[in-house]
């Protein structure tokens, strides 16, 4: 009986070792996957921060360029006058007609035949 008990104990411990090894392998694979995902998302975040800084720089330069173009437009619009328009071939209209209505659109005139 003693030998049978030792064989059974050895069989049980071998089964426990194989289960322990399987659990260890699964946990090790899960740990590697978790670290891989961590490094992937961490590097992705860093690259996004760098890209955002580059985009902020380009937005700043485009804003500066738009401001300078706006100042140039304002300066050029101050030079436009009647003489310049005539030199470019514009003429003042001699026969001007305007469209008019008897009542204003959306006026507050109440109609008596409404239901």
pLDDT of residue 29: 96
Is there a domain that residue 46 lies in? Answer: yes
Number of domains in the chain: 1
Is there a domain that residue 70 lies in? Answer: yes
With a CB cutoff of 8 Å and minimum separation 6, the contacts of 103 are 109
Is there a domain that residue 9 lies in? Answer: yes
pLDDT in tens, 17-40: 788 888 999 999 999 999 999 999
How many residues in the chain? Answer: 115
The more confidently predicted of residues 103 and 6 is: 103
Is there a domain that residue 20 lies in? Answer: yes
pLDDT in tens, 86-114: 898 988 888 888 887 776 666 565 666 66
pLDDT of residue 65: 96
Q: What does the block give as tokens for 105?
A: 């659109």
DSSP letter string, 18-80:
HHHHHHHHHHHHHHHHHHHHHHHHHHHHHHHHHHHHHHHHHHHHHHHHHHHHHHHHHHHHHT-
Domain with 36 in it: 2-87
pLDDT in tens, 47-75: 999 999 999 999 999 999 999 999 999 99
Is there a domain that residue 56 lies in? Answer: yes
């Amino acid at each position: 009986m003693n030998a049978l008990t030792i064989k059974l104990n050895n069989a049980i411990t071998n089964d426990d070792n194989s289960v322990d090894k399987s659990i260890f392998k699964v946990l090790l694979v899960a740990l590697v996957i978790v670290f891989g995902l961590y490094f992937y998302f961490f590097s992705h975040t860093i690259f996004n921060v760098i890209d955002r800084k580059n985009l902020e720089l380009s937005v700043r330069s485009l804003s500066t360029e738009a401001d300078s173009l706006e100042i140039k437009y304002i300066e050029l619009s101050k030079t436009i006058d009647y003489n310049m328009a005539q030199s470019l071939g514009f003429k003042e209209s001699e026969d001007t007609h305007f469209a008019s209505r008897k009542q204003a659109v959306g006026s507050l005139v109440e109609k008596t035949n409404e239901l």
